[in-house]
């Protein structure tokens, strides 16, 4: 598969080329947004990594223009360490995932595995919420893109709950799950409400990068976060 990496820092491009070639990908690189978009039109890569902060066209504008083409590439943005605001803005603009600098091998492997899975799924999956009970626990599966429009679904779920103290709610995030800023706000409200009812919350099957952003949002103060198992 072809992968395009757009970054104005040559050491970063060299690192990506080294790792991605070792993973068996056909790697192309560009040192700015304009060259990256031209190369994108030429090779139509399956996956794109683009830095957020670049001279000229920044990564968010690159993302916007790629999405405008309608080509179903998975776009993973590269953000500065702890730069939650930019990561969330990229998710709002339909980035497939994000990865922080300095890039860790585990984070890169997680982003690639997630992108590979998402390529096999229909784009723009609608949000779906389903629940099952197991003993005293409630298992809630989350699929598709979670945004503020999912509030009625969560409201119905919360009204239907008849949970006792000591009950555990397990939120399982499907491989195709994605989220935007309003979805993060909604999810935080839900887990805070459950916590106030003395209900334990576990969030399972999180990609490494989503686990990081949920930690930055403070969700780990109210819930147990569990990363998805990978072959890495």
Residues 45-85 pLDDT 10s: 999 999 999 999 999 999 999 999 999 999 999 988 667 78
Q: Is 43 left (phi over 0), alpha (psi -120 to 50) or beta?
A: alpha
CATH number of 128-227: 3.30.750.24
Buried b (16+ CB within 10 A) or exposed e, 8-25: beeebbebbbebbeeeeb
What integer pLDDT is reported at residue 165 of this predicted model?
Answer: 58
Rounded Cα distance between 207 and 111, Å, is 8
CATH of 2-119, picked from 3.30.300.90, 3.40.50.2300, 3.90.850.10, 3.40.120.10, is: 3.40.50.2300
Rounded Cα distance between 134 and 26, Å, is 45
pTM metric for this prediction: 0.85
Mean pLDDT for all residues in the chain:
89
Rounded Cα distance between 115 and 155, Å, is 31
Delimit the domains of the chain by residue range: 2-119, 128-227
Give the residue with greater pLDDT, 105 vs 159.
105
What angle is formed at CA 213 by the lines to CA 210 and CA 214, rounded to 5 degrees? 85
Domain 128-227 in the same topology as domain 2-119: no
């Amino acid at each position: 598969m072809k992968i395009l990496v757009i970054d104005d820092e040559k050491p970063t491009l060299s690192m990506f080329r080294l790792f991605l070639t070792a993973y068996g990908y056909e790697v192309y690189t560009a040192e700015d947004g304009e060259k990256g978009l031209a190369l994108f039109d030429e090779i139509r890569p399956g996956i794109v990594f683009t830095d957020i902060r670049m001279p000229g066209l920044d990564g968010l504008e690159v993302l916007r223009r790629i999405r405008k083409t309608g080509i179903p590439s998975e776009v993973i943005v590269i953000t500065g360490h702890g730069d939650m605001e930019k990561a969330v803005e990229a998710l709002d603009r339909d980035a497939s995932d994000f990865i922080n600098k300095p890039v860790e091998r585990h984070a890169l492997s997680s982003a690639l595995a997630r992108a590979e899975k998402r390529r096999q799924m229909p784009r723009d999956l609608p949000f779906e919420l389903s629940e099952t009970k197991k003993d005293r626990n409630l298992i809630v599966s989350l699929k598709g893109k979670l945004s503020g429009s999912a509030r009625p679904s969560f409201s119905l779920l919360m009204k239907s709950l008849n949970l006792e103290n000591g009950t555990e709610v397990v939120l399982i995030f499907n491989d195709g799950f994605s989220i935007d800023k309003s979805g993060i706000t909604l999810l935080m409200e839900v887990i805070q409400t459950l916590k106030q009812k003395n209900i334990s919350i576990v969030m399972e099957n999180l990609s490494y990068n989503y686990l990081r952003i949920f930690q930055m949002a403070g969700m780990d103060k109210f819930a147990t976060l569990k990363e998805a198992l990978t072959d890495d």
